Structure 1
């Protein structure tokens, strides 16, 4: 393996040679690189030195390690293309979505249009584009530049409203403004971050996400995920398939098709979040990547197909993989949360892992760690995933297993005030 790196170079194995067409994979784990190599592709992994693990050494042919800005990634990729001509650039990581699209655009490698990817990443652009394309179902929204914009928007749509980062992820720093105290705080946030926050009308109803895979502009529905949130907007549970009737399912699927068509989405995975209001489905946001929070694994357990394997086959121009012979009827993940402070006791994960139907546990907090207030996905403390014949049973198994986990905290002298990762 060779490396283009700001860190020490990774040596070239004896007899190393170019495989098939080269693919640059930006960030993420090893599932996608391994799947691409199985199709005969020459895989160049791009990430930071801290992200590069021994498992990545075994999964990739070359590693390009760089700490830098998005512009750095683009300029280096263009230079790399002169040495190792790239067939495609792909990513399943939120932080690299626009970088991958910019590289593909600069080198003429195809993929989703750059303006589509930018619109999905920037929620204010998404809202503007959706509003101009959708005759009905558009969500009223406005980018906040001054504290006066907050008052003007509230006067237009009424309370409550949602205030969130225009390019956030992981439910981080989303606030539901319900009263005068919250309104005062919203004005202060906009004053401190002009042009960085988006206000949207509050959508009331159950939350879902639609997991899709698109080929040549045709969108295939892989799963509907039912979502559960804590106070605010942080997700604390998911189940696949969603427990909804046929009419509501059809409405969610049709709204997703219409939205992806309107955004100009032409290929690859998408994760589209919706709220089913009394007036029908409304799109909250969408991403040109698989769903996070382990949703990709829930879909794999239920459908028998891993979305990353679908992406690898698409990039390689191969037939999509066949589903597993005996998938589960349903799969659910439930997340552990705890009071803010220093963790003094963490126990029970082994017992949780031994419960019926449990397929994985992910401890996220150890004794001595600081637990932050629940402001984003990164502030959760671990999770349990379980499978079963029905969604209700899968949820029951995941929550029952998690109930065996004990996490006690004591108030810390200097509690952290920021989330560990963004929505």
Structure 2
């Protein structure tokens, strides 16, 4: 029986999948990010992730030897790469894993690709770095952490004064945000060109030769800016894509170039791309399945994303062909500004929508909620799916126009 070592943390659907498909598994959790680390739980081993020596020492004492290593969260891609190499198992090379979790390194490798596939950028250590970059580029500009996920602390600035103000806010929040969401990463900021265009993602699985097996289905995004928010979060992820066949082909080709530029192997690849007037430009590539993709591609395309990730981690060739094309959307709800959470407007009607597949409210009334750019995560996640495009469109329109986060204070 195949034993899977899940590095960092798991999500419940992954555990259910592994049990249903007759895998055994151990979750190797980070002591620094674990509540009650000294309690004993089935399938869980707690380790010190602060050094490879301590991490390997724990791995070497596992009761069951792993057959494959899997990481599903950004913070644990690099430790998983080191563990796979330590065990002599297929895994993403550590150099590629590091590049996939640090946008400065990633952009540096993209710059060596045979054609332009990403925006101009610079590391930011001082105000002078920002001033120098701004002097040679056109506003708006994007300021973001080099190695955080979920749009945390990402801001868009339309002037130098705004850029400097956002820099001071980011530096004030940087250490606390990293401590909460990426305790083993070194805080870092980059500034880059703003890419005007529609936002999309392409998902792939990279085999042991470095060949990407790219899904046909391209995911379309709406950002917070697209729906009138002053915040750069992903409001919706949508299948199937509304892009032309030509543009979808261009996105997949760009993803292929980017994956090869990073030297990825034995790993999923989640590629976020903006379709600009000058062609596709990569925002980032993650060495993991994209957020919510297990549900999205199962509902919309009949693709087993978790199975493909396991096939890839085991050194095999993944199965990524679509069986059908239905409509699916994942919607993340944020408030317009920070305040105390009150509720979601038209919640009862939302719960009765024929397309509703999943609803999760992530916080309790009275809790403080706010913008992604202020270090907050989504208040609620809604997944809609339906085989009838008209029903799906009507239900998504209802959410778009009626469902919002209510706050006070």
Task: Place the TM-score, normalised by the shorter chain, in its bin.
Answer: 0.7 to 0.9
Displacement of 1:102 in angstroms is 1.6
Residue 341 of structure 1 is matched in structure 2 by 339
- In 1, Cα distance between equivalents of 2:26 and 2:108: 36
Equivalent residue, structure 1, for 2:55: 74
CA contact (8 A) 2:235 2:333 kept: yes
Question: For residues 51-62 of structure 1, what are the structure 2 equivalents within 5 Å?
Answer: 62=43
Write the mapping of 1:29-40 to structure 2, written as runs, cut at 5 A. 29-37=11-19, 40=22
With structure 1 as the length reference, what TM-score do the two structures score?
0.80
Q: Find the aligned partners of 1:70 and 1:247 in 2 and give their Cα distance.
A: 47
2:113 matched residue in structure 1: 133
Counterpart of 1:196 in structure 2 is 188
Change (3 A) 1:347 1:154: closer
Structural mapping, 1:188-227, within 5 Å: 188=168, 196-216=188-208, 217-222=210-215, 223-227=217-221
Report the alpha carbon displacement of residue 279 of structure 1 after superposing the two structures with TM.
0.5
Structure 1 unpaired stretches of 5+: 1-19, 412-423
When the two structures are aligned, how many residues end up with a matched partner?
A: 384
Partner SS state of residue 373, structure 2:
coil
Give the match for residue 6 of structure 1: none
Q: TM-score, normalised by structure 2?
A: 0.83
Provide the C-alpha distance between the structure 2 equivalents of 1:320 and 1:408, rounded to a whole number of angstroms: 43
2:329 is the counterpart of 1:332: yes
Supply the distance in 2 between the matched residues of 1:91 and 1:322 (Cα, whole angstroms): 19
Return closer, same or farther for 1:69/1:393 CA change in 2, 3 Å cut-off. farther
Instruction: Flag the structure with larger Rg.
Output: 1
Aligned-partner Cα distance in 2 for 1:133–1:328 = 33
Moved over 6 A (4+): 190-195, 321-325
1:369 to 363, 367, 370: 367
Matches within 5 A, 1:168-247: 168-186=148-166, 188=168, 196-216=188-208, 217-222=210-215, 223-230=217-224, 231-247=230-246
- Which consecutive residues of structure 2, in runs of 5 or more, have no partner in the other structure? 175-185, 225-229
CA contact (8 A) 1:344 1:410 kept: yes
CA distance in 2, matches of 1:274, 1:324: 21
The CA distance in 1 between the partners of 2:374 and 2:221, in whole Å, is 15
Correspondence for 1:43: 25
Question: Shift of the alpha carbon at 1:312?
Answer: 2.6
User: Given that residues 212 and 269 in structure 1 are in contact (C-alpha distance below 8 angstroms), is that contact kept between their aligned partners in structure 2?
Assistant: yes
* Alpha-carbon distance in 1 for matches of 2:320, 2:163: 52
Quick check: 1:331–1:391 contact (8 Å CA) kept in 2? no
Distance 1:345 1:241, change over 3 A: closer
Q: Superposed, which structure 2 residues align to 1:144-163 within 5 Å?
A: 144-163=124-143
Q: Could you say which residue in structure 2 is the equivalent of 1:115?
A: 95
**Cα RMSD after superposing both structures:** 3.2
